[in-house]
Structure formats: structure tokens, C-alpha cells
Amino acid sequence: MIHEGTANIRMPITQKMFSTMIGINKTRALLRLIAAAIGIAGMVALTPAPLRAQEGVGLESSIVEDEFEDEGDSLEELAAAQALAELERRRREKSNAAGHAAIQNVGGYEYEIVAESVESAVKEASMRALKSSAARLYYGDYVLLGRDLLEPYLNVYGDRFVLKREVTSEHILADGSRRVFVNIGIDQGHLFTDMEEKHFIAKPKLRPIVAVLLEETIDGQRGLDGKARDLLEEGLRRNELRTESKRVAHHNLGVDVSADASTLRDARLEAQRWDIDAIVTGSLKVKPRKEKVILYDQMFFHDAEIELKLIRIDTGETMRHITSHYSASGLTPEESLTKLLTQLVPMAAFELTDGFLDEWANIMLDKADYRLLISQVSPEQLTTIDSMLRALSPSVQTYLKSYYGDVAVLNIIYPDAPPGFVEEFLRRSKVPQFRIKTDETGGARRLEIEVL
């Protein structure tokens, strides 16, 4: 999704124009209104709709008021004339760009569907097109929330965003099913605005907020009362992550939510409501060992295993996964257990998140050298493309930001690539073949690719 910014244009004014304006109070009042309209309504109109509610639009109305505060100030006439010229420029641009804007806001998709009937093929194609349009948001600085709920929502309300359903050809197969070729047009501007209103869209943060849910047991029984979870949160904060576990406090924080798919889904949805980016979850299993006498002292021992996962809220993908073991001893059971927890848990937190902020930036933020939007791509083709890119150089690193519907967004770290090299490499590919479009806002570092 390509967003165009606004610009303040200052046009020169001649002495004749300046003299003509002086003393014409009615014209001056009209020009005041024009300047105010440009300064406020114009900026709102030029701001992409999906951004308005989330980021807001800065309206410096005080500047307009100050500029016209003194009726006798010559700057008033100058600013008003510039406002009139700006209004005319925008009128021309709007007229010239109206057709282009309409095209950019419409996503066109072509599908070959095998189904029992033409109607079911068109329905399947429409849903695929809606999901593909939604997935394009990942190409910008956005993520989709509530993805588990988005498809059911689109299944009920998606028709309002479908502008075109065109069956270009159909063939009856030997088993009686139909091979149908369908063109679908989606009103992406309307779709994105509606998704934002329903809170399906968010922006990832520079420093992610995490919630920690940890199952803690001693000899198979609960009994640590959150001590390990507190130590884990402290360790995560040392690695510059922000923790807000209590925001999901009505969930039992002493559980491993990754152990069950429905529990993980519920935890993700709850975390999304509280603006949390990731979940750290897992289990700590402590097992006491038989005490021993060592050098006349009776010693107590504990063994432990900790397993931790760092899970993305939007996709449910596991970004990091570690398992660690540790043993400790002490003159009392309490001393042995305290040593175990204070040594094992902080080390596990460091191992889980060491270098994670850089990885987060490469995946979720626009920090990579290249960003590819790949449409009409299967999981197998995506694996092939990833392998092709990694084979270009040992320095290449690839990060999958999203794969939803049949659209992938892939970030590439390739700092020593010659200008245009990645695009030219993909254009020359024979298997698979691509249709490539350069994103005007990102130049050669942002490419839209369709697998043919």
C-alpha cells in the first residue's frame, strides 16, 4: 500500500498581484476561508484513510489564525494569495490523478479454481482475493490482529468489498467438477478502512511488549507461586523488552498456553486487546533429588528443566524456542531451590531473547535492505524463492514477515548487493517466473512480485 505525503508549496507573488489585493476586504475574507480549508480539510483528504484514526492528522490551525491576526499586515495578503494558488494546484492534481487513485485502491486477482459448481468457485475466489488484499497490509508498517476471526468476518461481510466477479471461462472435467477461471476486483480502500474500524489493524512497536505465562511445578505439583515467572520477567526487561503480564491477569498466568491450540488462541486474542506484541510461555519443572552427606554436611539437591517459547501475537508463530537444564545444591532445601531459580531462570531469559530486538526489527519493522511482496505463491514456491535468495551470497539473510492467503511479505538483509541486482536476478528466473513491479515509494528496495 503506497501512501503519498503532503507538501507545502510556496509560489512567488508579483507586485501587481499584491497591490490588487490591498483594500479588497471581501476578497480577503474569502481567501481566509480558502487558506483554512486547505490547511485543515485538504490535509485530511490527502491522508490515507487507514492511517487517520490510528496516527491522527496534525492540524496546526493556530498557524492559520496567527497568519491572519492582523488585518493590516501585508503577510496576510501574501499568505492568502499563496493559499489560492495552492488550491488551484490541488484541483488540477485531483483532476489528473482521479483515475489513477481509483485504480490503486482496487486490487485485481485472477484464479483458476476447481469446484463442484461455478458458484462455489466464484465464492472461493472471492474469499481468496479478500484475504490476499488484507495480507497486503503487511507490506506496509502494519500487522493484522485477530486473524483467527478475520476470515469468518469476511465470509459474512466480505461481499460489500467485492467490486467485480467475472468468470472468463469454465470447463467440465471428467469427474463432473468444473475448472473455472475467475477475475475478482476488491475495493481495498474500503476494506482497509473497515478493518481499521473493527481493530483488525495495528503497528508493531520498536520495543515489543510481552506477556509472560509460565507453568511452574515441583515434583509434578504446583508450588512456586510465580517466583520463577517474576525472575523471568526481570530477565526479559534486562534485555530491553517491556513486560505487561498483568494486563492479561484474568488469564491464569501459571499455565503454558502453547500446550493447547485453543488456549493459545484465547491468550493471543486477549493479549491483542491490551496492545501486547508477543507472549513468552512455557514450563519450569523442578524435581528434588535425594540428599547426600558431603564432607560431613548434609546437602540437598534440585534438578530443573525450563522450556520457553516466544510467540508472535498476530500470527501465533513461534519466533524463539529454548530448553535448558540446571542443577543446584544447598545446605537446606530452600537454599538449593533458591540457587536453582536465581541461576537458571535469568540465563534462560537471556538465551531466549539475546539479539531479539535486532531480529524483531528485521522482521516486523522496515529495517531490511529489501522488502518483497510475493502474491499467488504457494508454501512450496515460497520455500524455493527463499532458497534462491539465500544462495546469492553467504551474507544474505531472509525474514518472513507474513504469509497469509497466498501473499507473502519477505524481508531481505543483503547489504553488499549491487544496485538493482535482486530485481534483475528475479526477472531472469525461469523456474519459477515472476512479474515484477517496483514500488515507487521504496525504489529498488521494495518489489511487488507475482508468481506466474
Strand partners for 450? 375, 435
* Average pLDDT value for residue range 283-310: 90
**What is residue 80's predicted lDDT score, i.e. its pLDDT?**
65
Grid cell at residue 26: 471581501
**What is residue 297's predicted lDDT score, i.e. its pLDDT?**
79
pTM value > 0.85: no
Query: Is residue 372 over pLDDT 60?
Result: yes
Residue 117 to residue 180: CA distance in whole angstroms: 9
Residue 197 to residue 291: CA distance in whole angstroms: 61
87, HSE (Cβ side, Cα atoms, 13 Å):
18
- At 3, give phi and psi (nearest 5°): -105, 135
pLDDT, one tens digit per residue, over 311-352 is 999 999 999 999 999 999 999 999 999 999 999 999 999 999
Residue 136 to residue 133: CA distance in whole angstroms: 5
**Nearest partner of 123 among 184, 74, 199, judged by Cα:** 184
Residue with cell 515472476: 434
**Range name among 73-87, 129-143, 226-240, 300-314 with the lowest pLDDT average:** 73-87
Residue with cell 485485481: 108
What is the band of 250 on the pLDDT scale with cuts at 50, 70, 90?
low
**Nearest partner of 379 among 402, 362, 412, judged by Cα:** 402
* Average pLDDT value for residue range 161-182: 95
* Average pLDDT value for residue range 48-55: 37
100 contacts: CB under 8 Å, gap ≥ 6: none
